[in-house]
Chain A
């Protein structure tokens, strides 16, 4: 039952990053490449029409995590207190940037919300990557002072950073050079994904240029990926164990590689949707590979006084999980139906649609 919920939450989170990922990415592209008003407008529309129905996946993931793994939910959310609250603020800034930009015609008004949307998209992508970095690195669970643990085994609190910025100390902060590398990977990945979305969804004049941008970003991503794999070994020496013992898990890194290699041929890809699928594979493969390397651990402890948080020692009781399975399947089926209806009716290029407030 724990494994089922673990997979279910993993799927919902992955869907969230694929869906909301494209509007984060659109924000990053918008920030750096959209110079003309027409481009700015269609890009914000391509994200603005969908962000709230994408964001519900985050709410659903949060709710499911709360229900299925309450101990994990409680310790991680209070442990990463500051970064999480900052993420909430950024989500708010991004949303109002998207929703309010078109409300007034003044140039200054639009500029402010464009920056709000772009910068908060960039920072959110970075923070989500950093969060993943923290999870694969592990944290000092229930910090130990003079051999005595200061809190119960699963409670901790991480400062934003400590002065050394190193993942190798006893008390690493949320931000260190390792988590920043993972953060950058997230930014580049989502930027590629967002660019593909813009190409898919709009007739923007920058679409041709974006293919070149994707190619360059893909090179950067390949370099960052190789580099991160090397340092990963230093930060968490056990990270390859799962793949060695259960070679079928290698399917996940292969999914990632397929996306990465495929996107090198971006200029030859005829159908825009194929490129979008490839960058979705990047996200899918990246998240699942990280989770597979840890399984069944969901938050490693870097001190030896406390055991790792796993799906087994943080889960809710059996009865609750099995009841939730019943309504969860019904709920999930409904969501798929809504999703298909919505995407069908709102398919096609944004520019050709009647859209306006």
Chain B
């Protein structure tokens, strides 16, 4: 039984981590493509149109990868988490089916038109198709997060005697107080990823002295989008989310922040420290007193319950992983704001394109927004443990009762092998596209 849960969780974690590499880029990138296309419509400068089309190529590769790795996500609810699907299908089936019908159709229908239809449609309609792709990809995020928000903070349902969750109020699914902050935080984080990708390609072109005109455009646009979005990720959206965790999942909040013991007065904020699960304390701690209370409740000496206030089986089952995920996300987010602010400063002083160390930094930072996004997602998911539906349905009660751990291990290994291949192909193709650059295509 333990094996079964372990392999099921590992498989879901692995497949969703790999999947999430792609939509986090496409959601943000679609916004930037719409921006480039809009700029072209206003100025009629060909450069902007080529930029939009160039990033649409990168978008398309990512979209394909997102689709092929996303279909297994939907199926895995049934294959590996059958009990969970049966009990909650009446509710999360709603949001997932809506995702398929309202956003996925929109995105995939108009993506083909955006890529192949420029000459058929004229520029205004072409802009419109790009905008609809953007709308579809953001709507996708909205419905997925509505699903997740219900698992984090279940609302609008009733539980029958046989354990089934029955929908009682549809509109509560979308007015869930968890949803809007989580959605905005997530979308801003995906703009950070795409802004770093755009800026990084720009820096690469400038450093290699290749497609430099586009290099400067990409770098400038990436830095501006990057600074705005990385600030918005932290404040107000990140702050808003943290407050929600403190309010709805106080045990999770204590574990995230690494508070083992409740303090009499205000809680300190931990900057550095390693959770020591044996002695129930943080090793090598550096902390600033009272700040956490202030950030969470705007009161310096408000008490925040530590992990000692909760039953052990109510707390997340992997506290160090949760703690580190959260701190990595926050730490990286801070670095992003710093780097982008510095870059914008030099952009304003018209020196950015010549400062090589900064260009190298921007170029090589590109994996880190991905890491920040993924650890952010881990924070949400590990924080929800030991529940699938917070407070109501334990993870151990959600797995498929008839699928053995041997079968799950086999399929996990299959996914690992297949996704390694996919990852390699993806890098080769994106590398090739970047290397070719945004030079206009011959027709």
A interacts with B: yes
> At the interface, is chain A mostly helix, strand, loop or mixed?
helix
> At the interface, is chain B mostly helix, strand, loop or mixed?
helix
Interface presence of A95 (CB below 8 A): yes
Interface presence of A59 (CB below 8 A): yes
Whether the Cβ atoms of B112 and A49 lie closer than 8 Å is: yes
Give the interface size bracket for B toward A: 35 or more
In the complex the two chains form, what is the Cα distance from A84 to B104 in whole Å?
Answer: 22
Contact with B along A52-88 (1 / 0, CB 8 A): 1101101110111011111101111111011011001
In the complex the two chains form, what is the Cα distance from A355 to B441 in whole Å?
Answer: 12
Minimum Cβ distance to chain B for residue A5 (Å): 10
Interface presence of A235 (CB below 8 A): no
Minimum Cβ distance to chain A for residue B139 (Å): 11
Known contacts A55-B71, A70-B90, A78 near B400 by CB under 8 Å? yes
In the complex the two chains form, what is the Cα distance from A91 to B98 in whole Å?
Answer: 22
In the complex the two chains form, what is the Cα distance from A73 to B104 in whole Å?
Answer: 21
Q: Which of the segments B72-80, B237-245, B306-314 contacts the partner chain? A: B72-80
In the complex the two chains form, what is the Cα distance from A75 to B403 in whole Å?
Answer: 11
Known contacts A75-B82, A85-B79, A157-B402, A320 near B105 by CB under 8 Å? no
Known contacts A62-B74, A81-B79, A335-B105, A319 near B94 by CB under 8 Å? no
Partner of A96, one of B72, B400, B422: B422
In the complex the two chains form, what is the Cα distance from A317 to B93 in whole Å?
Answer: 12
Known contacts A59-B104, A91-B68, A338-B106, A354 near B119 by CB under 8 Å? yes
Minimum Cβ distance to chain A for residue B233 (Å): 29
Contacts of A92 in B (CB 8 A): 68-69, 72, 418, 422
In the complex the two chains form, what is the Cα distance from A82 to B412 in whole Å?
Answer: 11
In the complex the two chains form, what is the Cα distance from A354 to B443 in whole Å?
Answer: 8
How many A-B Cβ pairs are below 8 Å?
223
Known contacts A55-B67, A96-B425, A357-B57, A320 near B75 by CB under 8 Å? no
Most buried by A among B105, B414, B418: B105
Whether the Cβ atoms of B82 and A339 lie closer than 8 Å is: no
Whether the Cβ atoms of B407 and A53 lie closer than 8 Å is: no
Contact with B along A79-107 (1 / 0, CB 8 A): 10110110011011001100110011000
Whether the Cβ atoms of A68 and B93 lie closer than 8 Å is: yes
Query: Which chain B residue has the least Cβ–Cβ distance from A93?
Result: B418
Known contacts A81-B400, A317-B90, A354-B443, A334 near B105 by CB under 8 Å? yes
Most buried by B among A74, A91, A335, A346: A74
Whether the Cβ atoms of A319 and B166 lie closer than 8 Å is: yes
In the complex the two chains form, what is the Cα distance from A79 to B87 in whole Å?
Answer: 17
In the complex the two chains form, what is the Cα distance from A100 to B403 in whole Å?
Answer: 34
Interface presence of A328 (CB below 8 A): yes
Whether the Cβ atoms of B101 and A77 lie closer than 8 Å is: no
Known contacts A77-B85, A91-B71, A156-B402, A346 near B407 by CB under 8 Å? no
Contact with A along B49-75 (1 / 0, CB 8 A): 000000001001101100111111011
Whether the Cβ atoms of B82 and A49 lie closer than 8 Å is: no
Contacts of A339 in B (CB 8 A): 109
Partner of B86, one of A63, A64, A70: A70
In the complex the two chains form, what is the Cα distance from A319 to B425 in whole Å?
Answer: 46
Contacts of A70 in B (CB 8 A): 85-90, 93
Most buried by B among A78, A103, A151: A78
In the complex the two chains form, what is the Cα distance from A155 to B80 in whole Å?
Answer: 13
Contacts of A151 in B (CB 8 A): 401-402
Query: Which chain B residue has the least Cβ–Cβ distance from A62?
Result: B74
Contact with B along A300-333 (1 / 0, CB 8 A): 0000000000000000110110011001100110
What are 15 A-B residue pairs whose CB atoms fall within 8 Å in the complex?
Answer: A56-B105, A58-B71, A60-B105, A70-B87, A73-B89, A99-B61, A100-B425, A156-B402, A157-B403, A317-B164, A320-B93, A332-B101, A339-B109, A345-B113, A356-B441
Q: Which residues of A contact B (CB under 8 A)?
A: 49-50, 52-53, 55-56, 58-60, 62-64, 66-71, 73-79, 81-82, 84-85, 88-89, 91-92, 95-96, 99-100, 103-104, 151-152, 155-157, 316-317, 319-320, 323-324, 327-328, 331-332, 334-335, 338-339, 341-342, 345-346, 353-357
